[in-house]
A = this chain, B = another copy of it.
Amino acid sequence: MESVRFYLPTEVVSGPGCVRRMAERWVLGKKALLVTGARSAARSGALEDVTAALEARGAAWAVFDGVRANPDASQIYMGCDVARREGCDFVVGIGGGSPLDAAKAIAWVVAQGVPRERFLKSRPEPGDAALPIVAVPLTCGTGSEVTPYSIITDHGAKTKVNVSGACLFPKVALLDARYLTGLPREVLADTALDALSHAIEGAYSPRSTRLSEAMALEAVRTIVPELVRLAHGGFVNVAELHYASAVAGMVIAQTGTGLVHAMGYPLTYHKGLPHGRANGILLAGYLEFMERPCPTLTARLLEAMGVAGVDELQALVDAVLDAAGTTPVAPSEEELARFAREPLRLELVRKYRAMPSPEEVMDIYRTGF
């Protein structure tokens, strides 16, 4: 019997105004590198709160706003140059999954002096250090604020690489749902589906434990009512989604992701589908596939979602994407067949509780589109 681990060293602070009010908990150095995308950090008001809090604590900062969706090594190393030039001693990621993941990679590369030609081939070792990382999530899907993962796009291998290590856990995650109020419903939908996918894949993981499963069910129970509101054009409680995506992140921090993420990556890479959407459309087919090896857990997940079965789940996901005006175009059968071979190459695959054949992978793709 294997040993079971639960590890979640990130201090999670949440509530309106927490960035300014809890400055003494997260200003962890003399000069911060603020890692952001092009616009959301300023637009959400988070950047203003972060800099005000830094100022109040007598800390300086430099901004690297060069992170784009699905960041690659060149963006990471541009950020590292800024951090070194400016003498930053901690890193604050502000944004969706991309800026947070980039902030983590930068914190590791700078602290360990990882040479660029070895980045993507090496991973943080148990003894490695990173600059202290603070995460301010501006979407409600990634969970990156509470995980040791940094997902970097590898153009050479045409896929994504998971740069993962204990030193990449943020020291503090700051969740102020007010930053999410301006988010387009399309982004809410995509990121909520990503969070749902984390909870479900985490629950099915062979590394799932009683505690992480309880957390996964809590996340699922919280997310689905908001998805229903997204589908019907109703008011969405973003604070619920913000909370649930952090809880789902705590789950995958223990379990990792699974087949849905592996199957979603080619859809993002080759078809440009946003990460969460790519996962979301595969969820019902995945549950259908897992129903046979894991009937009890599947029933528990469906009950927590409040849906009668996988068809109702697929209908909900479709309605969410319809309402957001983002119903994806189905790839051709040839493309799907090509993608179906990709996830099986990933090392993740050995970690699945049930191993799908290429034909079963095709079925999951077909259910989605």
Interface residues in chain A, defined as those with a beta carbon under 8 Å from any beta carbon in chain B: 1-9, 11-18, 21-22, 24, 126, 210-211, 214-215, 218, 222, 243, 247
User: Roughly how many angstroms separate A6 CA and B126 CA in the complex, as a whole number?
Assistant: 24
Distance of A324 from chain B, by nearest CB (Å): 26
One complex includes copies of this chain to the number of 2
Residues of B within 8 A of A211 (CB): 215, 218, 243, 247
Q: Decide if B8 touches A8 in the complex (CB within 8 Å).
A: yes
Q: What are 5 pairs between A and B in contact, CB < 8 Å?
A: A3-B13, A3-B15, A3-B18, A7-B12, A9-B11
Known: A5-B14, A6-B14. 10 other contacts (CB 8 A): A1-B16, A2-B15, A3-B13, A3-B14, A4-B13, A6-B12, A210-B218, A211-B218, A211-B243, A211-B247
Residues of B within 8 A of A15 (CB): 1-4
Residues of B within 8 A of A11 (CB): 5-7, 9
Q: Which residue of chain B has its CB nearest to the CB of A174?
A: B3
Residues of B within 8 A of A18 (CB): 3
Q: Decide if B13 touches A5 in the complex (CB within 8 Å).
A: yes
Residues of B within 8 A of A214 (CB): 214-215, 218
Q: Decide if B14 touches A4 in the complex (CB within 8 Å).
A: yes
User: Roughly how many angstroms separate A73 CA and B211 CA in the complex, as a whole number?
Assistant: 36
Residues of B within 8 A of A13 (CB): 3-5
Residues of B within 8 A of A3 (CB): 13-15, 17-18, 21-22
Distance of A347 from chain B, by nearest CB (Å): 22
User: Roughly how many angstroms separate A5 CA and B1 CA in the complex, as a whole number?
Assistant: 34
Residues of B within 8 A of A2 (CB): 15
Residues of B within 8 A of A222 (CB): 210
User: Roughly how many angstroms separate A15 CA and B265 CA in the complex, as a whole number?
Assistant: 34
Q: Which residue of chain B has its CB nearest to the CB of A5?
A: B13
**Which of A6, A9, A14, A18: most chain B CB closer than 10 A?**
A6
User: Roughly how many angstroms separate A243 CA and B209 CA in the complex, as a whole number?
Assistant: 11
Distance of A222 from chain B, by nearest CB (Å): 8
